[in-house]
Amino acid sequence: MTRFEQEKWQARYASLPSGPLPPKPAARWLHRWEGVIPRRRVVDLAVGLGGNAFHLAARGASVLGIDVSERAARALRRTALDRGLKLELIVADLDVFPLPPNRFDAVLCFFYLNRRLFPQIRDSLKPGGVLLMEAFVTDPQRAEKDQPGYRLAERELLAAFDDWEILDYAEGIHRGTGPSQAATARICTRKP
Ligand SMILES: C[S@@+](CC[C@H](N)C(=O)[O-])C[C@H]1O[C@@H](n2cnc3c(N)ncnc32)[C@H](O)[C@@H]1O
DSSP string computed for 1-32:
--HHHHHHHHHHTTT--SSPPPP-PPPHHHHH
Evaluate whether residue 2 is within a structural domain: no
Q: Say if 94 falls within a structural domain.
A: yes
Q: Work out the average pLDDT over 130-142.
A: 90
Q: How many A from CA of 40 to the centre of ligand 1?
A: 23
- Express each pLDDT in 17-75 by its tens digit: 999 999 999 999 999 999 999 889 999 999 999 999 999 999 999 999 999 999 999 99
146 has pLDDT over 80: no
* pLDDT value of position 48: 97
Indicate the top mutation candidate among 6, 9, 63, 131 to test ligand 1's pocket, ranked by most ligand atoms within 8 A of CB: 9
Residue in 24, 28, 68, 108 to alter for ligand 1 test, most ligand atoms within 8 A of Cβ: 68
- In this prediction, residue 1 carries a pLDDT of 78
Q: How far apart are CA 29 and CA 187, in angstroms?
A: 9
Q: Are 135 and 152 in contact (CB under 8 A)?
A: yes
Segment 121-142 shows an average pLDDT of: 93
* Other residues' Cβ atoms within 10 Å of the Cβ of residue 49: 19
Query: Is the residue at 181 inside a domain?
Result: yes
User: Which atom from ligand 1 is nearest to the alpha carbon of 45?
Assistant: 6
How many angstroms does the Cα of residue 69 sit away from the middle of ligand 1? 8
Residue 12 lies in a domain: no
Pocket of ligand 1 (CB under 6 A): 1, 5, 9, 46-48, 51, 67-69, 72, 93-95, 110-112
Query: What CATH number should be reported for the domain holding residue 125?
Result: 3.40.50.150
Q: Is residue 26, in this structure, part of any structural domain at all?
A: yes
Residue 11 lies in a domain: no
Residue of minimum CA distance from atom 8 in ligand 1: 110
Predicted local distance difference test score (pLDDT) of residue 5: 83
For residue 24, which of 43, 45, 50, 47 has the smallest C-alpha distance? Answer: 50
Give the Å distances, CA to CA, from 27 to 91, 93, 98, 104, 178: 22, 23, 26, 20, 10
State which H helix or E strand residue 88 sits in: strand 87-91
pLDDT digits (tens, 9 = 90+) for 147-172: 768 899 999 999 999 999 999 999 99
